[in-house]
Structure 1
């Protein structure tokens, strides 16, 4: 039995992944943005270990969330599922890029880390100037950042399986009702990477789509760019990555 923490798990793919993991007998700690969402989540996922509150659009609240997670002990896997799409660029940067960086740095490293990226990362810019200015970061940029973070962590923490996932364009609140991809396949890869003993899942620094390694923007493999990205995130958040 594994113990897993999932961010952004009050609804959508995060909650579906949680329900799947719980049905397999695993212990799952969930996360919601506020008290109202926590209550709704507890009613929807009654067998969850608990639901922690933290608004990831606030750097300070994200740091406090990390403290709450640390107070509850260690985890076998963490799924960085939380993300925003149709909102202002500052919030996209804080939630999609900086929050997973902060939580990765401040929570004791688990055995497995899964970061939610997107096929749109291929249109993301490798320029880090937008992070430095705090403006102009698009959703595609942030999903490229998540892929780069997964790869940087895989390189810096060789004892951890760290991977990125494209869940596809699925019919969730974020994706919209007309999204063409399979909803179940949208969360199955995260679950598989979190707990499976399949040798294909026990790898690191990879990018997956529907349980298979997929093509990605090759600039994410640039180790010098990865290091600069980590430095820029440290400067933006005041949080140092523990190598």
Structure 2
């Protein structure tokens, strides 16, 4: 940091498994990636190429290499996995991961109907090839999954070999963990945390108010995802209590 301030919460450092921040790249140019890394590289743990944007992204290999050269892994959004799966192209998807030398993959069923045992089979299969992130929750705002089902699915997916599970919110933060207004489904989150260790969960939280809520609940080193590239510095100041929304939260921790 550029100078010393007292009572700043300790932040984990890379490579980390808590305080993890996942970026949502929805189509950055190579120049924008370079700028993103220059400004926020210390805070970027992994980058997701949102949904199936990798299908239409120009100079994809060069883009992946930019992130890789900065020590930042990337992965394709779960919707791309679903797009291959629903077209009976799972083997093609696995070859795609090897072609681009990816070490992470996301398994999800937010846009398709998939038997959960079958989803766990795919997790077990891909976990032999890459590190798997599995996403729980639906992209359909009308589909409300009860808390016990979230817990059951998260646990089974972790048991199947997922490194971490992702709580679904989409890039807008208006489904899954959140109501269509963006408000956190507080009871759902609190119930999940009674059974699933917090360091095994990445909470998709694209909106500032959502990030603030999770930081106040779980501290500076909560795992957060679907963060826009231009929001990384802002999020880091929230984590450190250096923005009005969390300004008083860490002052009396004696750190």
Give the structure-2-normalised TM-score: 0.37
Give the structure-1-normalised TM-score: 0.38
The structure in which a higher percent of residues are helix is 1
Larger Rg: 2
